[in-house]
Amino acid sequence: MTQSEYPQLDVIAVGAHPDDVEIGCGGTVAQLVRQGYQVGIIDLTDGEPTPSSSGPEERLAEAQAAAEALGVQHRVTMDLPNRKLFDSYEARVKLAIEFRKYRPKLVLGLGEKTPLASPDHWQAMQITDAAVFYSRLTKWDIDFTNIPPHTISSHLYYTLESHRANPLAGEGQIVVDIGDTLAAKLASVRCYKSQFPPEKQYIFPRIEAIANQLGHAAGYLAGELLVSPRTLGTRDLMKTLFD
């Protein structure tokens, strides 16, 4: 197995379940695709079982349709267990292997707990944090099926938490302009019909309201919040401010 067997991706967004990436940063993903970047999604689990789904096949079909709605070039569904997802050495290595295969510059990952919702999200954050580190480590080839190390240059967090007045905390916050891709984001979430039956349609105005609030705060029609665990800087202040 060699890296040349896999397409190199500029960005990989990681979720615990299919629909996490779409809800948390789907507009950003669609925007990156439109800007010409190669973007992938990795779901740590297939998200099943869930109350209204017929099983993994239906959920995987929904995930593929959602990826197409965003324009994503590649999607991977890993075999870690839904509802029993834990930060373990094995889970870290499995995700790091995917990073080594696809060699992204940027990883977008879950950034916090979701109280009264799935604890898998918090575990996914820890797994992703560790896998970003493991991806670059040398002299450890046998654990990574001899795929060479790859250094990921940047790692940003997105949030699924919508019940707090305070935004996701971190050393640096970025609001991405998704005014042109909010419709694609909503369309991708709507692909998950098994997860959002009629009694859960409130999710869509909620997503739109949060996007509008974040966008207006940054001077856009709609936005998504990403947070850096490290302090952000710039070498070109004018380009950063006005590009």
Q: Return the number of other C-beta atoms located less than 10 Å from residue 145's C-beta.
A: 11
**Which CATH number belongs to the domain containing residue 105 in this structure?**
3.40.50.10320
CB-CB contact of 25 with 13 (8 Å): yes
The DSSP symbol for 3 reads G
Bridge partners for 176 per DSSP? 224
Rg (CA), the chain: 17
The residue segments making up the domain with residue 42 are 3-242
Q: Which residues contact 42 (CB under 8 A, 6 or more apart)?
A: 12, 13, 14, 15, 75, 76, 77, 78, 95, 98
Count of domains for the chain: 1
* pTM over the 0.85 mark: yes
Q: pLDDT digit string (tens) for 129-162?
A: 999 999 999 999 899 999 999 999 999 999 998 8
Strand-pair partners of 76: 42
pLDDT band of residue 164 (cuts 50, 70, 90) is: confident
Reading the block at residue 43, the tokens are 């779901």
Q: Is the pLDDT of residue 232 over 80?
A: yes
pLDDT bin (cut points 50, 70, 90) of residue 203 is very high
What residues have CB less than 8 Å from 186, skipping those under 6 apart?
204, 207, 208
